[in-house]
Amino acid sequence: MSGTVAGDVEIRFTQDGIAVCRFRLTATPTQWDTTAQKWRDLDPISYICTAWRDLASNATESLVDGVNVLVKGRITRIKNDSIYLSVDDLGISLRRRIAYTETSLPSPIAARPVTAPPALQPAAVSRPAAGQPGSPRTWWKEKRASPWA
């Protein structure tokens, strides 16, 4: 199922040190209205989700109020218009946002502004005098001195 996290994620630890988190999830199902030819929202469904161990720790670090998530789990009970879920797996919905993982985070170098490298200055070259071996030919000097066509 998919829904939106409502409120903060709470984490606690058992006497054995096992992490347990709980968070509320709200899902608003939609239904096609044939007379209006558009989708309409139905009454929201409230879920109370519980996750254990590493999933609980990761959920506490990753989830904030208003984030859309995908939840895989099983219903453990229904009480007071709330459905209780035991969460087996959890993910951020990419429908409305980009999510980065630890391995896909841009490197700090990518955040630096790009600056052009300093321009290289040509080294001073000693040229042989005209008429000596290696000197520019006379026709080249004349071409360089003439105006552009």
Please report whether residue 128 resides in a domain: no
Cα dihedral sign for 9, 76, 82, 33?
Answer: positive
In this predicted structure, the answer to whether residue 66 has a pLDDT above a threshold of 70 is yes
Is 90 exceeded by the pLDDT of residue 108? no
> Span 23-44, mean pLDDT?
93
Minimum mean pLDDT range among 21-35, 70-84, 102-116: 102-116
Indicate if the alpha-carbon torsion angle 108, 102, 48, 4 is positive or negative.
Answer: positive
Structural domains counted in the chain: 1
Residue 16 lies in a domain: yes
Rounded-to-integer distance, Cα 87 and Cα 51, Å: 5
How high is the pLDDT of residue 99? 77
- The band of 51, judged by pLDDT with boundaries at 50, 70 and 90, is very high
pLDDT value of residue 9: 94
CATH of the domain at 18: 2.40.50.140
Q: Domain range holding 66?
A: 2-28+41-94
- How many Cα atoms within 13 Å fall on the side-chain side of residue 38? 3
pLDDT at 43 over 60: yes
